[in-house]
Structure 1
């Protein structure tokens, strides 16, 4: 129903037009730097794969029933999803808010904070979902058997990157300076990266570390990717997917609150 003439139309709680507009803005920027970002986002996980897969792989041929190279390839997908989402969320979020005032300009239009956060995080996740597939593509050339479940990997990477992108945006709203990201990278990102089952089975860790690993969203991503490649386990996979969705939902709530406090309150 259209509002009467002279009466301002009331906006819905969540508008799709602002999200679409921010995506167009991001796409216009991406066309200018896609080469450098694609190089870094795709080559870095490839180096991880080849260095660990062939380095440790020369000493550890098998992990369980998998070739070590295949084990690492599926694990590095999670690492790629983490790195290509949390760092843009942190650094882009801080730079655009503090130095460039890009977010102030966006909010001058009919855009609310929750729409801005959703658009920025979903854009980061969409790019990450593509880049994160690089290790699997490389592994196919080194003997990894193709599987129909690989088609699910971009979706797993998307939900993982969405959560970590939102975590990065929230972090950018609470740190006092850009140098404070060193605490987050060393104290949070690095431990998440190391205890996710990427390079060695989580079962090899001490008991307390195994329980901690199950609280790590990246662990659930790695498990989902491995199951997608080597054989799905429906009940377990629903639990892993639920953990990723819950993580993303919680991060969305605190990211919106953090950005709203910095930009409006």
Structure 2
């Protein structure tokens, strides 16, 4: 019996007599491991929240002030709304994109390739699905909070506040969850960290520019409007603007359904690709 145990331990790369490494049952999906991932992220965040928050909040606010005040004096009103109000509601979505896509793309790559953090977490035991969900959920929580900063600035510049704006963090969370998952998926798909430049320039930048953030998409050619409407960020922009300027329930439901579908697809791709990298 001891010989068999020694052989098994040797085959698994463990010293003889060592306890077997705990592993999550295949296909398991439970809340407790996800909560564990979130708790770990919270502990790490408490050590570095000041520089992280500064960068995530100040950058979109500066962008809003530069474009909103600078271009606002030239553009005037769009659709009957002051440009800084129009832009402020759109920059919310941009902030969510940046504070979710980049951590999902870069941070998870560093943890997987250089720090080997996920190897230890999977032995906790945590299943890949729980790991991906927990990581994306944490990123989305931060994006949901950070994304509200430009909206508060716009309110400071005269945008009328409404009770509907309390839904903005929810919209930001769902959108951030989807983009965090997209970043995780792509971080596991790229062959090296240098190839992320293709994603940043070829995917993130177009998402940022063609979403109705700086101008209404109906000013674009027909084909560009069709592309913009496939962009998940566009649906976030419309929902956030809807809380400020008003939107029909049916239209809001369609935009939210598009975001929900985006989350489901991104989750499936992220889990599949991370499983290939970490287990298969």
Do Structure 1 and Structure 2 share a fold, with TM-score over 0.5? yes
Q: TM-score, normalised by structure 1?
A: 0.95
Question: Residue 247 in 1 paired to residue 247 in 2?
Answer: no
Question: Residue 164 in 1 paired to residue 179 in 2?
Answer: yes
Instruction: Give, in angstroms, the shift of residue 10 of structure 1.
Output: 7.0
Instruction: Give, in angstroms, the shift of residue 231 of structure 1.
Output: 1.2
Instruction: Give, in angstroms, the shift of residue 95 of structure 1.
Output: 0.3
**Is the 2:72–2:83 Cα contact (8 Å) retained in structure 1?**
yes
**Is the 1:149–1:232 Cα contact (8 Å) retained in structure 2?**
no
Question: Residue 94 in 1 paired to residue 109 in 2?
Answer: yes
Q: Find the counterpart in structure 1 of residue 218 from structure 2.
A: 203
1:151 is matched with which residue: 158, 166, 172? 166
Q: How does 1:104-253 map to 2 (within 5 A)?
A: 104-253=119-268
Question: Residue 79 in 1 paired to residue 117 in 2?
Answer: no
Q: TM-score, normalised by structure 2?
A: 0.90
Instruction: Give the whole-Å Cα distance in 1 for the aligned partners of 2:248 and 2:28.
Output: 38
Across the aligned residues of Structure 1 and Structure 2, the Cα RMSD in angstroms comes to: 1.2
Note the alpha carbon deviations across 1:159-189, whole angstroms, 9 max, x for none: 1000000000000101011111100000000
Q: Find the counterpart in structure 1 of residue 60 from structure 2.
A: 45
Instruction: Give, in angstroms, the shift of residue 232 of structure 1.
Output: 2.8
Note the alpha carbon deviations across 1:92-131, whole angstroms, 9 max, x for none: 1100000000000000112100000000000000110000
Instruction: Give the whole-Å Cα distance in 2 for the aligned partners of 1:28 and 1:155.
Output: 23
Change (3 A) 1:198 1:245: same
Moved segments of 4+, more than 2 Å: 9-13
Report the 3-state secondary structure (helix = DSSP H, G, I; strand = E; otherwise coil) of the residue aligned with 2:212: coil
Q: How does 1:15-26 map to 2 (within 5 A)?
A: 15-26=30-41
**Is the 1:57–1:68 Cα contact (8 Å) retained in structure 2?**
yes
Instruction: Give the whole-Å Cα distance in 2 for the aligned partners of 1:161 and 1:112.
Output: 22
Instruction: Give the whole-Å Cα distance in 2 for the aligned partners of 1:218 and 1:12.
Output: 31
Task: Give the unaligned 5+ runs of structure 2.
Answer: 1-23
Question: Residue 64 in 1 paired to residue 84 in 2?
Answer: no
**Is the 1:121–1:165 Cα contact (8 Å) retained in structure 2?**
yes
**Is the 2:26–2:127 Cα contact (8 Å) retained in structure 1?**
no
Instruction: Give the whole-Å Cα distance in 1 for the aligned partners of 2:191 and 2:29.
Output: 30
Instruction: Give the whole-Å Cα distance in 2 for the aligned partners of 1:161 and 1:126.
Output: 8
Instruction: Give the whole-Å Cα distance in 2 for the aligned partners of 1:35 and 1:169.
Output: 24
**Is the 1:125–1:158 Cα contact (8 Å) retained in structure 2?**
yes
1:54 is matched with which residue: 54, 59, 69? 69
Report the 3-state secondary structure (helix = DSSP H, G, I; strand = E; otherwise coil) of the residue aligned with 1:14: coil
Task: Give the unaligned 5+ runs of structure 1.
Answer: 1-8
Instruction: Give the whole-Å Cα distance in 2 for the aligned partners of 1:83 and 1:229.
Output: 22
Instruction: Give the whole-Å Cα distance in 2 for the aligned partners of 1:242 and 1:140.
Output: 28
Instruction: Give, in angstroms, the shift of residue 48 of structure 1.
Output: 1.1
